[in-house]
A and B are shown apart, each in its own frame.
Chain A
Amino acid sequence: MPRALALAALAGVAVAPFVPMGGMRQYVLHVIIQIFIWSFIGQAWSLMGRFGLVSLGHGAFLGVGAYTTTLLWNAYGLTPWLGVLVAVALAVGLALVVAYPCSRFGIVGHYFGLVTLAVGEVVRLLIIAERDWTGGSLGLTLRAPETAASLFAVQYADKRVFYYVALAAWLGGLWVWHRLDRSMARSAMEAIGEDETAAASVGIHVTRFKLGITALSAALTAFGGVLYAQYITYVNPETLAGIGVSLRIVFAVVLGGMYSLLGPTVGTAITIALAEYLRVVFGLRFIGMAETIYGLLLVLFIIFLPAGIWGSLRHALRRRRRGEAAAAA
């Protein structure tokens, strides 16, 4: 039954761009594409977060990814198809440079969070400081190709193309999450998250697993950054690097629940939908009101629903089902 439901939902998502929506199509598609891309990034973050590696600096990988392809395309005309490889390689390199000493010197918990936070800020500030070729805090627009749809430049005026690309990325992210969930690496990482010394004493190679999961997470995040940059065709240090976006990723995931497959998606969808809704309701009259409500909700959720919306919902459903099974027996 859940499988059939999931397939039906997927079919609905697949044909969504062709449902007649009148003049609303571009806007609806835009919101959904954003949800897919940021859910993908949230999933990438949760690969680490669920094992206690709470990074507050994933903006660093986003920024490295987005700026690498953008600068390579703008300055050298290198197609993003190759640029994305460079971007992912650089992000993984950065991740390893930070994660290796963190793992070797046992930097966990608060300290890990603050070190990653510093890394995110370093990337943001470097982008701003090198304003001669990165555009500084004004950001950078991707050079437009000659045609409205260019495979070489990976820029399409038609939102439907990016809709399917983002959908594919999101499904890919779910698949990675699922594979990891079923693998030995998950047990190993959980053991490490619980007690590193104990894990090491039963023969788990702590550093190798931590580096592996960090590299994977960074690579996917950088890919998400590239995807976002190609879609919006504009990059900005405030929206793609630093503490703001890093915290935003974490919040969306925590809101949804970081221990379940769909948690990041649910959290991201709710935060984006809420932000859009509040923006439409309040418009330009009350600037900041949307974010205020968002912040307030976050605090309340973390206090009252620490497992996240989706996580708590699943717990409740499972408990009820178990209750019914017990009553039948």
Chain B
Amino acid sequence: MIDPVFLAEAAVNGLLLGGVLALLALGLNLIFGVLDIVWIAYVDLVMVCMYVVYFLVMVYGWPVWLAGLAGLAAGAVIGVAVHWLIITPILTSPPVNQLLATGGLLFFVQSFATFLWTTDHRSVRISLPSLEVAGMFLSFARLLAFALAILAMLGLYLFLTRTFIGTAIRAVAQDRGAMALMGASPQRIYTVTSAVGGAMAGAAAVLLSIQYSVHPHFGAAFGPITFMICVLGGLGNMVGAFLAAFILSEIISVGGVIWSTEMGYVIAFALFIVMMFVRPGGLLARRER
């Protein structure tokens, strides 16, 4: 029998992981909702931002908060670059080709990172204490990441609902044809969306790099789960993705303690597959048929 304290600790850790996963998924989901394209390489771009943070902190000795901001900016720049270089030419191609083009990017980023930085695991060494609450040991880094993730998501929410361009982004997500008729340029909104999505990737990268070490296959470790969260929540549905992130992260974390990490993932993926059949539109979708 497993000590209930371990289970409780796993549950809390799952909750904390969920915050960061939710942030990861929200960026991808925003891009999907607006452009109707899945960036298969999304988490690999996060990996690149993590390297940016790592090098700025460990090699150039920048303070962590400044490197974090730089990581955020790097994410936005990468987002725009991906949009201009890869997405724009294939905006009207069949969805398969769009998936595959960003999949090719995945290979490129992953192998180029291997080439440049080898497969060493690198971590940003900032020593943060761990807290003891009711017999559970909680890492302060995770708590901090969780809090910042929630803040970032709140920021995204305010941006989308309270600013003019945010409103425009939501309008395009609803009906891109009608937006063009209103005289708005979808191209510009796509670029802004990609920048914001990229910045979310950068933000997630900063928060991930204070608790995980970065290596070229980081994207492969977190990529699939991020897509599952987006789809489970309903592609383009922010609240759904938020909820799905916590459900899946709890399964992974608690399942990992009871069985093994892999089994936790297996159960999470199996749940995803089943949920796709039961609620194909996402957790919060109203059934249309």
Contact = CB atoms under 8 A, between A and B. Distances in A.
A124 B262 CA distance: 9
A292 B108 contact: yes
B186 interface: no
B100 A298 contact: yes
A133 B200 CA distance: 42
Contact of A244 (B220, B228, B272): B220
Contact of A291 (B89, B95, B111): B111
A104 B278 CA distance: 11
A292 B97 contact: no
A103 to B, nearest CB: 11
A125 B266 contact: yes
A118 interface: yes
A188 B99 CA distance: 25
B112 interface: yes
Given A110-B99, A288-B112, A121 B90 contact: no
A98 B114 CA distance: 35
A302 B104 contact: yes
A109 B95 contact: yes
Interface residues of B, number: 48
Contacts of A298: 100-101, 103-104, 107-108
Interface string A234-258: 0000000001100100110010000
Contacts of A54: 96, 99
A294 to B, nearest CB: 6
B107 to A, nearest CB: 3
Interface string B211-235: 0000010001001100110010001
Given A115-B273, A129-B262, A299 B115 contact: no
With a 10 A CB-CB cut-off, give which of B223, B227, B260 has the most chain A CB atoms.
B227
A277 interface: no
A114 B231 contact: yes
Contact of B220 (A114, A128, A243, A297): A243
Contacts of B100: 250-251, 254, 298, 302
A33 interface: no
B97 to A, nearest CB: 5
Interface in B63-111: 86, 89-90, 93-97, 99-101, 103-111
Interface string A292-309: 101111110111001000
With a 10 A CB-CB cut-off, give which of A98, A254, A286, A288 has the most chain B CB atoms.
A288
Given A287-B115, A288-B112, A292-B111, A125 B269 contact: yes
A117 B269 CA distance: 10
B224 A129 contact: no
Contacts of B220: 243-244
Contacts of B266: 122, 125-126, 129
A114 B104 contact: no
Contacts of A72: none
Contacts of A102: 277
Nearest to B40: A247
A106 interface: yes
A101 interface: yes
Contact of B224 (A117, A250, A295): A117
A56 B273 CA distance: 14
Interface in B7-37: none
Contacts of B228: 114, 118
B38 interface: yes
A110 to B, nearest CB: 6
B167 interface: no
Interface string B42-82: 00000000000000000000000000000000000000000
Contacts of B106: 247, 295
A121 B265 contact: yes
B115 A289 contact: yes
A135 interface: no
B280 interface: yes
A113 interface: yes
A68 to B, nearest CB: 18
B273 A122 contact: yes
B277 A299 contact: no
With a 10 A CB-CB cut-off, give which of A52, A98, A110, A111 has the most chain B CB atoms.
A110
B270 A110 contact: no
Contacts of B276: 105, 107, 111, 114-115
B174 interface: no
A290 to B, nearest CB: 8
Contacts of B93: 302, 306
Interface of A: 49, 52, 54, 56, 98, 101-102, 104-107, 109-111, 113-115, 117-119, 121-122, 125-126, 128-129, 243-244, 247, 250-251, 254, 286-292, 294-299, 301-303, 306
Closest 6 CB pairs of A and B: A295-B108, A295-B107, A291-B111, A298-B104, A288-B114, A288-B115
Given A114-B228, A295-B109, 9 more contacts: A107-B280, A117-B224, A122-B266, A286-B115, A288-B111, A291-B110, A294-B107, A298-B100, A302-B90
17 contacts: A110-B95, A111-B280, A114-B276, A126-B266, A129-B259, A244-B220, A250-B100, A250-B103, A288-B116, A290-B111, A292-B107, A292-B108, A294-B111, A295-B104, A295-B112, A299-B104, A302-B90
